[in-house]
Amino acid sequence: MSLKFCSLSSGSSGNCYLAGSDNTYILIDAGISARKITSALNSLNVTPSDISGVLVTHEHSDHIKGIDVLAKNYGIPVFSNRKTSNELIKICRYSDKFIINSFENNVSFNIGDLEIKPFPLHHDAADTVGFSVKNAGSKICTATDTGCITDDIINEISDADLIILEANHDENILKMGRYPWHLKQRILSSHGHLSNTAAGEAIIKMIRKNPKSRQILLAHLSRENNFPEMAYQTIINILEQNSIILCDMLKINLLNRDEMSGVYLL
C-alpha cells in the first residue's frame, strides 16, 4: 500500500485528517483537542511522536484547536503558508515554542516520502489551501472550506484517487434556518462554504476532466444546515441527471462529524 487516510473528525465542530505512507504520517489540520487527537491516533496504533508535521489549511478554530498542545508538547512541526503562519503566530498561545514552516501555494515540498502540494481555495480566511498528498503513484486531495470549485481546483484534484470534498450545506435549509442574515450571506458566498449541489457539480466536472477510478469522501457537513442523507442524495441525484451511476469507478462515502472514519488504503 502506498497511501492511507483516516478522518479523525470532519465538520464545523472540528476537522483533523491523518494521511500517511508506510513510513511517514502527517495530520491535515488539528481542529479538535490534542487529547482527542491522541486517543484517535492511539486507536490506529499511531502516537503523536509518529507524526512528522501538521499541515494547516487555514486559521479558523475548527482547524487549529489542537495545534498549540500538539506542537508544544510533542514538537510536531507546523506547515502553513505565510499569511496563515502570521495568523497562527497571533492566535496560538505557544507559537513562540513551536516550529512553523512556511510554504508557498502551488509549490510542492516533501515530508519524508510524501510529496505535498498546497493549492489555493476560496474562503474567508487569510489564505486557505487544499492539499494534494502523493506517494508511489497514488494521490489524495483535500478540498474543504471553499465557497467555489474553480477550474484550477478541478485541474489539481481530478487525477486524485481519493478526494475529501466539502458538502457543507443544503442551500434551502441554510436560507430558511435561524442563522443571522450576514452569516447566511457569508456561507453562501464564493468565499464561504461549498453546498451539496456545488459539490455534486464539482464531481461531474472531475469525471468529465478525467474519467478515472476515484473515491470521494463528503466532508465538513454543517450540523445546522445539512443532513448526511440529504448531502448524499442531492449529489446522487445530480450524478443521475448527468447519467452517471455509482460503480467500482466511482465510490462516494460520507465523513461523520463525531466519529472517526475507517482507514482508506490506496
- Contact residues: Zn ion, CB under 5 A: 60, 62, 145
Crossing angle (nearest 10°) for helices 34-42 and 67-74 = 70
Q: Minimum Å distance from CB 144 to Zn ion?
A: 7
Query: For 189-201, b where at least 16 C-beta lie within 10 A, e where not — what string?
Result: eebbbbbbbbbbb
In the complex with Zn ion, the residue whose CB is nearer, 9 or 38, is 9
In the complex with Zn ion, the residue whose CB is nearer, 84 or 158, is 84
In the complex with Zn ion, the residue whose CB is nearer, 62 or 161, is 62
Tell me which amino acid residue 151 is.
D
In the complex with Zn ion, the residue whose CB is nearer, 199 or 244, is 199
Kind and range of the H or E element at 81? Answer: strand 78-81
Q: Which residue is nearest to Zn ion (CB)?
A: 60
Q: Minimum Å distance from CB 123 to Zn ion?
A: 5
Minimal CA–CA distance to 28: which of 45, 12, 47, 14?
14
Query: For 128-157, b where at least 16 C-beta lie within 10 A, e where not — what string?
Result: bbbbbbbbeebbbbbbbbbbbbeeebbebb
Q: Which three cell numbers stand for residue 129?
A: 489551501
Q: Minimum Å distance from CB 34 to Zn ion?
A: 18
In the complex with Zn ion, the residue whose CB is nearer, 16 or 238, is 16
Q: Minimum Å distance from CB 256 to Zn ion?
A: 16
Q: Minimum Å distance from CB 85 to Zn ion?
A: 16
